[in-house]
Amino acid sequence: MFTIKVLTFVFISCLDLWDKVQHGLGSMNKIGVKKFHFRSIAAFLVVFFAFSSAMADTRRYKFDVLIRGIKAGQLRYAIETKGASYGVHGILESTGLVGLLVRYHFDAQAVGKHFGNQYQPKHYKEVSDTGRRKSEKIIRYQNGIPKVTSKKPWQPHWLDPSTQEGTLDPMTAMAALLSDQSKNDLCKLYLPMFDGARRVEITLSGLEKTESGAQCSGVYQRIGGFTEKERAEGENFPFILNYKIENDLYRVQRFDITTLRGRASFVRQ
Q: Which residues lie across from 85 on neighbouring strands?
A: 82, 113
Tell me the pLDDT tens digit for each residue of 179-195: 999 999 999 999 999 99
Q: Are 57 and 85 in contact (CB under 8 A)?
A: no
Q: pLDDT tier at 261 (50, 70, 90 boundaries)? A: low
Residue 17: what residue type?
L
Tell me the pLDDT tens digit for each residue of 63-105: 998 887 888 889 999 999 999 999 999 999 988 777 777 778 8
- pLDDT computed for residue 30 by the predictor: 34
Tell me the pLDDT tens digit for each residue of 133-165: 788 999 999 999 999 999 989 999 999 999 999
pTM here is: 0.81
Which one has a higher pLDDT value, 7 or 209?
Answer: 209
Q: Where are the domains of the chain?
A: 4-181+262-268
* CB burial readout 36-65, b (16+ within 10 A) else e: beeeeeeebbeebbebeeeebeeeebebbb
Q: What span, in angstroms and rounded, lies between the C-alpha atoms of 224 and 157?
A: 8
